[in-house]
Amino acid sequence: MPLDDRYQLAFKLYPYARSADQDAETPVRHPVVVVGGGPIGIATTLDLGLQGIPVVLLDDHEGIGQGSRAICFAKRSLEIADRYGCAGPMLDKGVVWNVGKVFHEDRQIYEFNLLPEEGHRFPAFINLAQPYFEKFLVERVREAQAQGAPIELRGKNRLEGIEVKKDHTILTVATPEGNYDILADWLIAADGAGSPLRGMMGLDFEGRVFQDSFLIADIRMLSESFPTERWFWFEPSHKAGASTLLHKQPDDIWRVDFQIGWDVDRAEELKEEKVRKRLDAMLGADVEYEIVWKSIYTFQCRRMKQFRHGRVIFAGDSAHQVSPFGARGANSGMQDVDNLGWKLGMVIRGEAPDRLLDSYHEERAAAADENILNSTRATDFITPKSRISHVFRNAVLALSETHEFARPLVNSGRLSVPCIYDGLSLTGEDALTGGPEQTRPGSPCPDAPLGDGFLLSALDHGFTLLTVDAKDAADVSEGGIAARHLPIGKGDDPSGALARRYLGEATSAVYLIRPDQHVVARWDKYDENAIRAALRRACAKE
């Protein structure tokens, strides 16, 4: 098959260049090869490269694809990007919104304000077109490379074949100048929902198909400025879609999403005049705009049974696919990377046993199940699958106009929040009486103001031993793994948010925190033996 582009590029960032591997007499062996240059693949190279682990990324294109696709990036994704050093430009470019309006037929039934919780560096989410999110990641890769991070991005390098061995894989890669082979100790599949690699390995990807199509368009408003709000219509009388979503992106671009039914003629529906007809019905004929991008998608909710297959590990959409309602696609993929990066790093450096990587599947498959459950519920509400479901849905909408109780039942997508690894293998004990629910073991650490900055940026890239008003604590080292002590006292907590989020009713607290900022275990005071045991557990050493 020729190496023709399957899609148009928004940014050509890594043009094909001949690699020395192509002229090697015997295939060159690499510690890590990543397949796929989407946000998950690029973020994986950053995580590993910043740890000093050599990583090669293969992408069959030479940059970032056109089209906004994912637009909602949640707080946790920004916090992860901040660990990699590229959240700043995302935040600068992204749009923050708080007000949402819900319509049924043509009536506004209610309006909500998300009223962000104070004391976080990042907002609950930003709207940013996916190509920008990816571009900022690639720019950070370039910066890290300049500082010596051993990352290689290979454009127009398409994986053609794989031979799986016990402790490595043999990869055949196609380029415009012919094929070559390389070996990979570890292979990360970040090649998207249609994952060719998954196909080559003959692996399953089972789930539920939703019988509905969505016409999605990005439009640039030319005439008037619309407010920065999220508008969702159930059964609008303009009939442009059975449901319709309007969402603001940067640069006066708006995302419009029409639910158009299952049996549609794609080519017909994507014709400019046909799309304009829908848009005019929704916006009114006098609103001027240009269509920047359009597409029709259908979706499934499904995941692989196993995310890890020996030395091949699947991350992001290649491992799990959800409906777009609730922004759980790219956001959960970023959490996969966050989860995988430190574990793979420790295993490669020989600091932890191979089975630490089994916990990647355990934790992220649990997260995928939670995301699939939430996005399925939203989908079932937006597109009721039976007559009685439709009756209940409309009853909720009718009551929610005047009766507050019905509003929490309206579900046009629940905001993506990270999964808490309750009761999973690496999660340790909760020995903090009166400690807040939100920081229990397994939780991602909530941010809080710390001195002049924020807590999360003060955490270590390895393990951190966070103590709040605790005595006699120190760094702890167990089997070559260190947890750096971060002591916090009353004077460091200007807003009181830290005490609310980490002490609750307790007077002192000790937290062992993983490199991905999830809590391993917590205690009311410093107990070196307990901390050592928790560290062993978090590294899958017991």
What is the contact surface with other proteins in residues (CB under 8 A)? Answer: 374, 377, 380-381, 386-389, 392, 395-396, 398-399, 401-405, 407-409, 411, 414
Q: How far is the CB of 387 from other proteins (least distance, A)?
A: 6
- CB of residue 394 to other proteins, shortest distance in Å: 8
Least Å from the CB of residue 110 to other proteins: 13
In angstroms, the CA 448 to CA 446 distance is 7
Alpha carbon 366 to chain centroid, angstroms: 15
- By beta-carbon proximity to other proteins, the closer residue of 366 and 398 is 398
Distance, CA of 214 to CA of 127 (rounded, Å): 19
Query: Residue 324: what residue type?
Result: P
Long-range contacts of 173-180 (CB under 8 A, 24+ apart): 173/58, 174/1, 174/3, 175/3, 175/16, 175/18, 175/22, 176/3, 176/16, 177/18, 177/22, 178/22, 180/21, 180/22, 180/24, 180/27
For other proteins, which is the closer residue by CB, 19 or 411? Answer: 411
Those residues whose C-beta lies under 8 Å from the C-beta of residue 329, and which sit 6 or more positions away, are: 70, 317, 321, 322
**Residues 11 and 59: beta-carbon distance below 8 Å:** no
Q: How far is the CB of 243 from other proteins (least distance, A)?
A: 17
Q: Least CB distance from residue 211 to other proteins, whole Å?
A: 16
Other Cβ atoms less than 10 A from the Cβ of 426: the count is: 21
CA distances from 152 to 34, 58, 367 (A): 10, 9, 30
**Considering beta carbons, is residue 124 or 473 the nearer one to other proteins?**
124
Q: How far is the CB of 403 from other proteins (least distance, A)?
A: 4
Which one, of 47, 32, 139, 157, lies nearest residue 90 by Cα? Answer: 139
Strands 481-488 and 463-468: parallel
Tell me the DSSP string of 136-181: HHHHHHHHHHHTT--EEEETT-EEEEEEE-SS-EEEEEEETTEEEE
The residue (of 178 and 408) whose beta carbon lies closer to other proteins is 408
* Residue with smaller CB distance to other proteins, 12 or 107: 107
Residue 226 or 392 having the CB closest to other proteins: 392
Strand pairing report for 178-189 and 28-35: parallel
- Minimum CB–partner distance for residue 438 and other proteins (Å): 16
Q: Residue 211 or residue 495: which is nearer to other proteins going by CB?
A: 211
Q: Give the DSSP per-residue string, 199-229.
A: HHTT---EEEEEEEEEEEEEEEE-S-PPPSE
Closest separation in Å from C-beta 257 to other proteins:
21
Contact 446, 438 (CB under 8 A): yes
CB of 409 to other proteins, least distance (A): 5
Asked if residues 393 and 243 have their Cβ atoms less than 8 Å apart, the reply is: no
CB-based contact 243:231 (threshold 8 Å): no
Shorter beta-carbon distance to other proteins: residue 14 or 210: 210
Comparing CB distances to other proteins, the nearer of 201 and 398 is: 398
Question: Closest Cα to residue 21, out of 148, 172, 160, 138?
Answer: 172
Closest distance between other proteins and the C-beta of residue 213, in Å? 23
Cβ proximity to other proteins, 113 vs 386, nearer residue: 386
Whether the Cβ atoms of residue 307 and residue 361 lie closer than 8 Å to each other:
yes
Considering the complex, state which of residue 222 and residue 395 has its C-beta at the smaller distance from other proteins. 395
Cβ at position 422, least distance to other proteins in Å? 15
Alpha-carbon distance of 304 to 317, in angstroms, equals 10
To other proteins, the closest distance from the beta carbon of 117 in angstroms equals: 19
With respect to other proteins, which residue has the nearer C-beta, 206 or 404?
404
CA dist 312 and 332 (Å) reads 19
* Type of residue found at 388: I
